[in-house]
Each structure stands twice: as structure tokens, then as C-alpha cells.
């Protein structure tokens, strides 16, 4: 058996949530700081210093993104840095463009106000979208259709997943049109949920 030792372990990521990009590689086990893989079946040649890619599930991604031992590097981010963000709408109650831009800059972001025709290109280059609550279902649907696949971070004290709720409508539309998977939705701040919501989502 040809084995490989990788410089990543249980302190860095949830090992059970990793799937090797090379389908002929299998995971044998892991310690706190190293991962052991079986390279016997792979047609690729691996040597010291060579990288092996993995596809993480949510648990593995969460662990790696919150680990202080893992370096994070954004890909396809030549034009937009960590402090760049594309806003669809203005914050409720803020009427002055100057006041709006000042608030956003104080938060560490650069407000970008491109024409509608430019938005698709901006998303493709890695710009982030922050959508206000006004007509949120319509706005997120437009975004999903533009970029083909999105992740959703939803902040609320209750999911309220009934047919009249915005989140319910977004999930229904996104799944039916193919641009949103419930695996790519994170709910933050949830204080309570009905039994049906817990079972279905």
C-alpha cells in the first residue's frame, strides 16, 4: 500500500467531512495534526510537497474556516479584496448618499454602486451581495439566476418557514430553479422553531 501523510489534522478540520478530489484516494485516518491517505489506486504521481485537494461538507468547512491553524486564501479575487462589497439597496432610514457611504466605509467596506448591466460581471469576479429586507425574495431570486448558485446567510430569531414567509419563498424558488440548495443555507440567531420546521429543515 502506498500511503501519504498530509499536513492537516483533527485540530484543523472535521476529517469525516472530507472527500478527496482525486476519487482514487481514500482517507485511512488522522491524528490531531496529520492526515493519512491511501494513494495506491491513484493514477497521479504524488511527491513531497505536492498538494491534494478535498471537497468539504458543511461540518468540515465550518471547522476549517474557524480554525486559527488554517490559512484562508480567496480565489478569483484579483479585483475585489476582503473589504469590497456590492450592495443592492440602501439601509432603511438613511436618505443621504453621503451618509450611506460614510456608514458603509466606517464598517470597513467600500460601497459599489454599478449599473444593473454590470452586476453579473461583478458577481462572477467575487463581489459579495448584501440584500436589504425590502422585496428581498425578488432580489435574491435575481441574484440566484444571475450567478446560477448561491449560499444564503439568514439572520432571524425564528425561521417561520410557512408559505407566506420570505425565507420559505426563497427556498421554494431557489430549489425549483436550481440556484439554491438547503445545504448552502445558514440560519443565525434562531431562538425557537416549530416541530415541522426542525424536521424539514
16-25, 36-45, 51-60, 108-117: range with lowest mean pLDDT: 108-117
Q: b/e string for 108-122 if b means 16 or more Cβ within 10 A? A: ebebbeeeeeebeeb
Residue-wise pLDDT tens digits, 143-173: 788 777 888 877 777 766 767 778 888 888 9
Where does 32-180 show beta strands of DSSP type E? 35-38, 54-56, 84-87, 110-112, 129-130, 152-155
The H-or-E segment that residue 134 falls in is none
Domain boundaries, the chain: 3-66, 74-130, 134-201
Residue-wise pLDDT tens digits, 115-137: 444 555 555 555 556 555 567 77
Whole-number pLDDT of residue 160: 67
Amino acid at each position: 500500500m502506498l500511503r501519504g501523510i498530509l499536513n492537516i489534522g483533527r485540530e484543523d478540520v472535521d476529517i469525516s467531512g472530507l472527500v478527496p478530489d482525486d476519487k482514487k484516494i481514500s482517507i485511512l485516518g488522522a491524528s490531531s495534526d496529520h492526515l493519512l491517505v491511501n494513494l495506491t489506486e491513484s493514477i497521479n504521481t504524488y511527491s513531497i510537497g505536492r498538494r491534494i485537494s478535498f471537497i468539504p461538507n458543511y461540518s468540515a468547512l465550518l471547522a476549517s474556516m474557524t480554525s486559527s491553524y488554517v490559512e484562508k486564501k480567496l480565489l478569483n479575487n484579483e479585483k475585489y479584496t476582503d473589504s469590497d462589497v456590492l450592495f443592492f439597496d440602501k439601509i432603511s432610514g438613511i436618505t443621504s448618499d453621503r451618509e450611506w457611504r460614510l456608514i458603509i466605509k466606517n464598517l470597513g467596506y467600500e460601497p459599489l454602486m454599478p449599473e444593473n448591466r454590470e452586476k453579473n460581471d461583478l458577481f462572477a469576479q467575487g463581489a459579495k451581495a448584501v440584500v436589504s429586507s425590502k422585496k428581498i425574495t425578488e432580489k435574491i431570486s435575481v441574484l440566484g439566476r444571475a450567478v446560477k448558485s448561491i449560499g444564503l446567510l439568514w439572520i432571524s430569531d425564528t425561521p417561520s418557514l410557512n408559505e407566506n414567509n420570505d425565507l420559505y419563498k426563497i427556498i421554494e424558488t431557489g430549489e425549483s430553479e436550481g440556484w439554491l440548495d438547503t445545504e448552502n443555507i445558514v440560519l443565525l440567531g434562531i431562538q425557537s422553531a416549530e416541530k415541522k420546521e426542525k424536521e424539514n429543515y
